[in-house]
Each structure stands twice: as C-alpha cells, then as structure tokens.
Amino acid sequence: MRGLKQELGLAQGVGLLSTSLLGTGVFAVPALGALVAGDTSLWAWPALILLVFPIAIVFAVLGRHFPSAGGVAHFVGMAFGPRLERVTGWLFLSVIPVGLPAALHIATGFSQALFGWHDEQLLLAELGTLGIIWWVGSRGASTSANLQTLVAALIVALIAVLWWAGNITFSDIPFPPVTRVDHSQLFAALSVMFWCFVGLEAFAHMASEFKQPERDFPRALMIGLLLAGAVYWACTVLVLHFHAFGADKAAAASLPSIVVTLFGVKALWMASVIGFLACFASLNIYIQSFARLVWSQAQYRPSSRLAQLSPRRIPLNALNMVLGCCVLSTLCIYALNINLEALIIYANGIFIMIYLLCMLAGCRLLKGRFRVLAVTGGVLCLLLLAMVGLKSLYAIIMLAALWLFLPKRGAVVTQ
C-alpha cells in the first residue's frame, strides 16, 4: 500500500510549525501576558521556551525515529499497544467539535473588524474559510507548507515594521532585573502563555511527509519553536512600549491598535489580513493533521474509503470527513448560540493529556538522556494539568470513558 507523499523540506516544516504555534495567539496572548505580569512577561517567554524544550525534544526524537501520520497516537501504540493508541487518537479527535469552531470564529472575527460583518455574514465567512482549507488540503502537504511559510514571513515582516516605525531599540526594552522578578506574576504569565505552544502534537502527524524525516523533522520542530518564541517576545515588547493592553481593552486588538497608532486607521486592513492568515494557518495544520490521523486509524480496514488515498497520495476522504464534522459543529454552535470560550477551556485539558501520553511513550521508547527529558516533560505536563484545576477532570473523564467504552478491534497498521 502506498503511503503519504514525502514532499516537505526543512523551510516548509519551519513554516508549518511556526504558524501553528503563532496562530490565534500572536495577536492576543502578548497583551494578556502583559496584563497579568507587566514587564515581568518579558522574562516569561524565555522561561516558557526552556520549560517547553524537554517536551519539544521528545516530540522531535520520537518523530525522527518513528515518523507516522498517526502522530502521538502512533508513539503511544508502539509503547503501550493498539488499545491505548486508538484511545489517544479518539481523544485528539474529540477536540474537533469545540476547538476548531472556536478557532474558526476567532479567525473570521478579523473580517468583522474589517467589514463590520455580523451573524449570518460571519457564519458564511466561516464556511467559506473551511472551503479554502479544503482546497489547500486537496493540493497536498507542500501547498499547505508553502502557504504557511508565506504567512510566517508576513507575521515576522509586520513585527519588524512596527519595531522600525516605533523607533524601538534594545535600550528601550523594560527588562526588570532578575532579582526583582515577581515570581507570582511570572507563574501567572506562564499559565496564560503556555497555550501558545500547543501545536507540537499536530505537527507530529506531518513527520512522515518530510523528504528526509530523520534529519529535517526535528530541525524544523526546534527552529519553528524558537522562531515562534522570538515573535511572541517581540510582540510583547511592542505591547509594553505602546501600553496596548489593559482590563478595558480587547487583547486581540493590541497589535491592530499599534498599527493604527503608527500608520493611521487606513492601515487597519493590514493587521486584519495578517491576523486572519495567522488564524487560518493554525486551523489549516490542525485540520490536515486530523485528516492524517483518521487515515492512519483506518488502516486496519484497507477497504474503507477513509483508508484510501487520492491519486496525489492525499487522504482526501478523511479530509472530507473532518471538514464535514467542522461544518456540522459550526452550524450547531451557531444555531444553539453556544459560548465557545467556556467550552474551549476543557479542550485545553485534552491537549495537555495528549502531551502527557506522548511523554509517557517517550519514557518507554527512548533511552539515556532522552528518557530523562521524557520524564521531565511528563512532570511538567502533570503540573500543567494541576494548573488547569478542576477543568482538567474533563480530559481525565474523557480518557477513562474512551478506554472503557471504545469497541475493541484488531491492531492498527499505521504508516
């Protein structure tokens, strides 16, 4: 049986990961971090990268040695068997009804700022965005990667232009001395900022589509992580410099307000377009990774339509199914007027649980210093679950329910 087409290079991988990490957060999270921690948030980004590094290295090493469209589910299956592999896969897919419509709503919110759209117009914009994602996905992984590399370049260019127009120099950056850092503020900022680095698990599903996964996948993951961290830090400098944050200000409006301050209202379209593209890029990689997971999980029954690839070696049937679920969820949420902000908090617990399962798989599959990093990453994930508090019970209950009630079947063959 043919596998997915191997067509991704290093630069494309960096573009995919960096935009999946920046996504919906680049416009809002720096302002949220500044709100809870002030100047201390400038120390929070490098601290967060150091904390995420063990987790990222484990993802990189597992992806290098065991590249698969199954992603974390494949790693868990190799470590603990096919039963927990299926549970992990379904746990990841359970984010679709809540997480994706929420991200889609945030993305089309930029069109509301630009065109003043509301209600049915925003719904049509959301459905149209899903249509564009289908077209991009039907062209293959390289098309998604090229588009997202362009988006990453636009985001970096926007930040660079704002630094230049604002005459910001390194002497202007309000770095507080380490001895004066308020640890309570630092921890509060870290709890807000961690969600910017949810995206590693989606990127893992693309490992088998690299031309040289053993070499380029871990490099792309680490470079993309550092690039995203640098962009978030630079955005935080801008937000603090222009004081574009506050309890009475929308966090997502922080960068657009800076654009208006420097270039006038007529330049608002620039921030809105780049904001939409950043959200679109994050949505795109998640939907493409979900499709690859569905295709991977369907391999136990080769005759299934979901297990088939298109002539371009793309899991098009699986992509159609994932997008169909997104459309239904979007329509239901619109019809029932569900508060997405309340629901997405529970989805965050699922992402942490998936990270924890990946670290546990690393503890079993890796050796030496990489096993130590997996143990360290697992401890960090447990701490993050504790930070989520009672809302993490949703992820724990979902994991237990899938383990108890998911029908049994034979072993899954993934590629």
**3-state SS string over the chain?**
CCCCCCCECHHHHHHHHHHHHHCCCCCCHHHHHHHHHHHHHHHHHHHHHHHHHHHHHHHHHHHHHCCCCCCHHHHHHHHHCHHHHHHHHHHHHCCHHHHHHHHHHHHHHHHHHHHCCCCHHHHHHHHHHHHHHHHHHHHCHHHHHHHHHHHHHHHHHHHHHHHHHCCCCHHHCCCCCHHHCCHHHHHHHHHHHHHHHCCHHHHHHHHHHECCHHHHHHHHHHHHHHHHHHHHHHHHHHHHHCCCCCCCCCHHHHHHHHHHHHHCHHHHHHHHHHHHHHHHHHHHHHHHHHHHHHHHHHHHCCCCHHHCCCCCCCCHHHHHHHHHHHHHHHHHHHHHCCCHHHHHHHHHHHHHHHHHHHHHHHHHHCCCHHHHHHHHHHHHHHHHHHHHHHHHHHHHHHHHHHHHHCCCCCCCCCC
Task: Give the chain's mean pLDDT.
Answer: 85
- For the chain, percent of residues with pLDDT exceeding 70: 94
Give the pLDDT confidence score for residue 390 in this predicted structure: 74
Asked if 78 and 66 count as a contact pair (C-beta separation under 8 A), the reply is: yes
Nearest 5°: the CA angle 322, 378, 410 is 45
Domain 10-405, what fold?
Amino acid/polyamine transporter I (1.20.1740)
pLDDT digits (tens, 9 = 90+) for 233-254: 999 999 999 998 887 777 777 8
pLDDT digits (tens, 9 = 90+) for 131-185: 999 999 888 888 888 888 899 999 999 999 999 999 988 888 888 887 788 888 8
- Whether pLDDT at 415 is above 50: no
Q: Categorize the per-residue pLDDT at 408 as very low, low, confident or very high, splitting at 50, 70 and 90.
A: confident
Token pair in block for residue 2: 């043919």
- Compute the average pLDDT of residues 351-371: 92
- Compute the average pLDDT of residues 211-237: 91
| Domain residue extents for the chain | 10-405
Give the pLDDT confidence score for residue 367 in this predicted structure: 92
Give the pLDDT confidence score for residue 371 in this predicted structure: 94
Closest of 183, 235, 228 to residue 36, by C-alpha: 183
> From the CA atom positions of the chain, what is the Rg in Å?
21
